[in-house]
Amino acid sequence: MTARRAALAAAVVLGIAFAVVIAVRTPWVPLPDPVGGRTPVDPTAGLSEAQLNRAESFAAALRPASLISLLLGLTVSAVLGLTRAGARLVRAVARPLGGGWVWQVLLGVLALAVIGRLATLPLAAYGEVVRHRYGLSTRSWGLWLRDVAVSTAIDAGLTALGLLALVWLARRAPRTWWAWAGAGAAAFVVVGSFLWPVLIEPAFNRFQPLAEGRLRSDLLQLAEENGTPVQDVLVSDASRRTTALNAYVSGFGTTRRVVVYDTVLERLPDEQIESIVAHELGHVANDDVLTGTLMGALGAGAGVAALGWLLSSPTLLRRAGAEGPGDPRVVPLALFLITVGTLLSAPVQNGVSRHVEARADVHALDLTDDPEAFVAMQQDLAASNLSDPDPPGVWHWFFGSHPTVAQRLALAADWAELNRP
């Protein structure tokens, strides 16, 4: 078997393993049907006409820009990856430092990342204007630019290191580099899941312990009752950037903590905060992060193996102006293929995510036994976050990582019916 066929076979096998994990671990039916049938979904989710109009107006202002930004970024990546322009750029940026292959990879990734970000920056700025207009963003333009710069630097840095390892492996092991790189990518996903809360989160927000009091005690007790004790309850200074409401649980073991936005503390009653946290604790209780990490590791391995197959295509290499995977000029092509793969996998990831989120909703209802607080919390979050309770079906299928607000309220009604005394 040739090295290229071996890479394709590995991609298929790992892809099948990925599909099996999805089939086995996805909660396809998070709640049984009530005797009288499921509750009809109310597309208004009980929101007022003014709230609905505001959410729909916000979505109408933002969705086209988001879609154009996605297509523009893909187009720029295609132009640089499927023509010799990207290869020339990679060589040009490294020339002042001697033009070695290491500098070509590192500076090439940085240049490509900056070009991609600059191409979509006007649309990102427009999106920020819209968020300011609707009162969702509180960031100054200085802070917004700082966030853009930090995000770009982190993405470019991690990508550069990954591609540097890929090119180095391809130069050292021309036939089996994709296997070593796939194993490395899978390991990176696993390690990254553990390190994210202690390395990346602090780059954007500051955290401080929630003050002693009833709410802190109740949240810690809720975690104990859930069988997943946490080390701390932290407050994020989210109000520096947004008026949106949110809370989450991050980390594993000694790094596991509940994080609550300061906006949540300011605007929601304790019982609704406990409902949000109970939902997040549901992810912990069901090992959703670990399952997601496993899926990510398998997906990364399959993706790199597929990349090994594609980067051995004479046609693609000729178009990109590269001689092979060990040639640093292959970087723009690799980035384009990764972008396409990420985009194509989005509906699958989001479809699984919606079922996982629905199970966490059921867990929150079981843990708190307070459907009224759950419904009120969902409606308050929808109103504050300007969430469209009934978005277009195709948009939600592709981009929606959570059930719609309307679907979540119908689920709560079904839960109440099944748990009626």
Q: Are the C-beta atoms of 189 and 300 separated by less than 8 Å? A: yes
C-alpha to C-alpha distance for 99 and 81, rounded to whole angstroms: 20
**Alpha-carbon separation of residue 171 from 164, 174, 178 (angstroms):** 11, 6, 11
Question: Does the annotation count 280 as an active-site position?
Answer: yes
Q: Which residues contact 52 (CB under 8 A, 6 or more apart)?
A: 44, 389
At 42, phi and psi to the nearest 5? -90, 110
Q: Which of 274, 288, 327, 361 is catalytic?
A: 361
Q: Are the C-beta atoms of 211 and 222 separated by less than 8 Å? A: no
Q: Are the C-beta atoms of 303 and 61 separated by less than 8 Å? A: no
Token duo for residue 289: 């992060």
Token duo for residue 174: 């021309």
Q: Which of 128, 274, 280, 327 is catalytic?
A: 280
The side-by-side arrangement of strands in the sheet containing 257-261 is 207-209, 232-236, 257-261, 247-250
Q: Are the C-beta atoms of 107 and 60 separated by less than 8 Å? A: no
Residue 357 annotated as lining a ligand binding site = yes
Tell me which residue of 277, 264, 271 sits closest to 222, measured CA to CA: 277
Token duo for residue 46: 């009980």
Radius of gyration of the chain (CA): 23
C-alpha to C-alpha distance for 177 and 366, rounded to whole angstroms: 48
The β-bridge partners of 247 are 260
Q: Are the C-beta atoms of 66 and 346 separated by less than 8 Å? A: no
Question: Does the annotation count 372 as an active-site position?
Answer: no
Q: Give, for 232, the enclosing helix (H) or strand (E).
A: strand 232-236
Three-state SS at 318? helix
C-alpha to C-alpha distance for 320 and 80, rounded to whole angstroms: 8
Token duo for residue 187: 């390991």
- For the annotated binding site for Zn(2+), the residues are 279, 283, 357
Binding residue positions: 279, 283, 357
Active site residues: 280, 361
